[in-house]
Amino acid sequence: MNEDLKVNLSWLPQDHLDASPPENVSAAVSSLIPVIEPEPELIVNPWDIVLCTSGTLISCENAIVVLIIFHNPSLRAPMFLLIGSLALADLLAGIGLIINFIFAYLLQSEATKLVTIGLIVASFSASVCSLLAITVDRYLSLYYALTYNSERTVTFTYVMLIMLWGASICLGLLPVMGWNCLKDESTCSVIRPLTKNNAAILSVSFLLMFALMLQLYIQICKIVMRHAHQIALQHHFLATSHYVTTRKGVSTLAIILGTFAACWMPFTLYSLIADYTYPSIYTYATLLPATYNSIINPVIYAFRNQEIQKALWLICCGCIPSNLSQRARSPSDV
């Protein structure tokens, strides 16, 4: 036993061992025995659960819209192509949030982290760009009402789709291709592994698109008010009827733009001023409303549409309500 002790402790100073009492030697021996600590339990962040739940709801809701548009040949007008693009982008965003939750707790690696953040960036970028494309389409349908339903409009729609998805995919590939902060944490933004410069580019791009959407919606409001006034004069409507119709159209546009701004503006501004040193709770608190925009989008742009409502009724119960089939489109339906 003594020989084993000398062999095991031969790396310690010999004079220290000779001068040490037996209890000190026992303490030294016990300190060399590795202590097997129990593995820490997997603690799930409640914010991640909320984001995953939001992603699940986003995926289910937008999958319905994608399937309706895909399986109905009659829904091939430029407007429905753009709504389908928005629903597909939001569907991918929801899937990205779910995958991010799975990889964060079950399959942690740098590769999965880069792929997941690339998918989320690309899908949310495509969602915002699709909203801008829908705004442009609505403006053109009102400003060029007589020539809107032409081959030129369809071609322009396909060009917009190719450009917006191409730009979104490029933005999503930036972290995967090396523009990330995995090797230099000091360059990280509030969303790791996005760099501060990458987040700033995304935020500034959003602000520019929001400004363009605001300008287009102001022009749309003017056109709607002018059309409503002309219809009122032609049909000899009362001034109150004209006022109600115009107010409804302006209110609809205000809700659309206000919802978009309320969802995305907090996270956009926070990404510009904050970095990785800020508490993560601020990131979650501003990112969560941005995901809600993808939940609201189908309600605003798809389920309010009369043709999509008819297709949904046919799928669910095989019939179309009489009040829906006889409803006419008014200037407030923008």
Chunk the chain into consecutive blocks of 10 residues (it has 334) and report each block's average pLDDT, rounded to whole numbers.
Answer: 40 43 47 48 82 95 93 86 95 95 85 91 95 91 78 88 96 91 88 90 94 91 76 60 57 84 94 90 93 93 85 75 57 45
The reply to whether 31 falls in a domain is no
The reply to whether 20 falls in a domain is no
pLDDT value of residue 270: 94
Lookup: tokens for 153: 């409009």
- Alpha carbon separation from 26 to 1, 16, 22, 29 (Å, rounded): 13, 13, 6, 5
Which pairs with CB-CB distance under 8 Å and at least 24 residues apart come from 277-283? 278/190, 280/47, 281/47, 282/190, 283/190, 283/191
Report angle CA 161, 162, 163 to the nearest 5 degrees. 90
The reply to whether 240 falls in a domain is yes
pLDDT value of residue 210: 94
Number of domains present in the structure of the chain: 1
Q: 69: domain range?
A: 46-183+190-315
pLDDT value of residue 232: 65
Residue 195 backbone phi and psi in degrees, to 5 = -80, 165
The reply to whether 330 falls in a domain is no
The reply to whether 27 falls in a domain is no
pTM for this predicted structure:
0.80
Decide: 229 and 223 in contact? Cβ < 8 Å: no
The reply to whether 114 falls in a domain is yes
Decide: 164 and 85 in contact? Cβ < 8 Å: yes
pLDDT value of residue 244: 55
> 59: domain CATH number?
1.20.1070.10
pLDDT value of residue 10: 36
Lookup: tokens for 319: 């019939």
Lookup: tokens for 227: 């059309």
The reply to whether 24 falls in a domain is no
Lookup: tokens for 214: 């605001």
Label residue 183 exposed, middle or buried (CB < 10 Å: 0-12, 13-18, 19+): exposed
The reply to whether 160 falls in a domain is yes
Give the separation between CA 12 and CA 24, rounded to whole angstroms.
13
pLDDT value of residue 215: 93
